[in-house]
Chains A and B, each alone.
Chain A
């Protein structure tokens, strides 16, 4: 069991470039989440999914899009990166009432 795997671990983008962060889980979890972590701000929810083919907005969704075409994968897209999107991004998943399992994070820098 790999748990929750995030790809890539690090990335540097220029303003206006696009990219996709991949989250994969092998635990058959229904719920998947994308959070961003900024200094002094804790973790803030970007988007989440309660099942294959469904997505919903979280607290800070602007500038991001997501897709969950397969139950095990949850993709986070940045169409036109901005410096304000420099952050550490965490994917997480869970099943039922169980706690979240987190990936190891992706550090994204937008210059």
Chain B
């Protein structure tokens, strides 16, 4: 079974600073997808960023970027120039190309302080 581990239950960052959220996963597959989802207090699940395992280039979406280390099975999320609106629960998720289900980590709660 594939598992996704987020080792930081809570993180804190000051506004305008940079923070990195960690995620590791366990798989024997070579082709898969990785995602970061954001869940603000509204409870909505919002896709932040997506990475295909066959792509060596790290995905970037504005202030959000990932550090994808396939050999180490690591997929960290970097948030630059943090804003108060970034405060949320962040979930890392994995899906093999051969499978249907998305497996989630337990989440990291990000607090952004002024």
Real binding pair: yes
On A, residues with C-beta under 8 Å from B are 31, 33, 35, 40-45, 48, 50, 56, 58, 88, 90, 92, 97, 99-100, 102, 104-105
Instruction: Tell yes or no: B25 within 8 A of A by CB.
Output: no
User: Are B100 and A104 in contact (CB-based, < 8 A)?
Assistant: no
A88 to chain B, nearest CB (A): 7
B77-109 toward A: CB 8 Å interface, digit per residue (1/0)? Answer: 000000000000001000001001111111100
Instruction: Tell yes or no: B47 within 8 A of A by CB.
Output: yes
Give the total number of A-B pairs whose CB atoms are below 8 A apart: 43
User: Are B106 and A41 in contact (CB-based, < 8 A)?
Assistant: yes
B9 partner residues in chain A, CB cutoff 8 A = 40
Q: When A and B form their complex, which 3 residue pairs have the shortest distance between CB atoms, in order from nearest? A: A102-B45, A42-B106, A42-B104
Question: Are A99 and B47 also in contact (CB < 8 A) when A31-B100, A42-B105, A58-B101 are?
Answer: yes
Q: A45-B101, A90-B45 are in contact. List 17 more A-B contacts (CB 8 A).
A: A31-B100, A40-B106, A42-B4, A42-B91, A42-B105, A43-B91, A43-B104, A44-B104, A45-B103, A58-B101, A92-B45, A92-B102, A97-B33, A99-B33, A100-B45, A100-B102, A102-B44
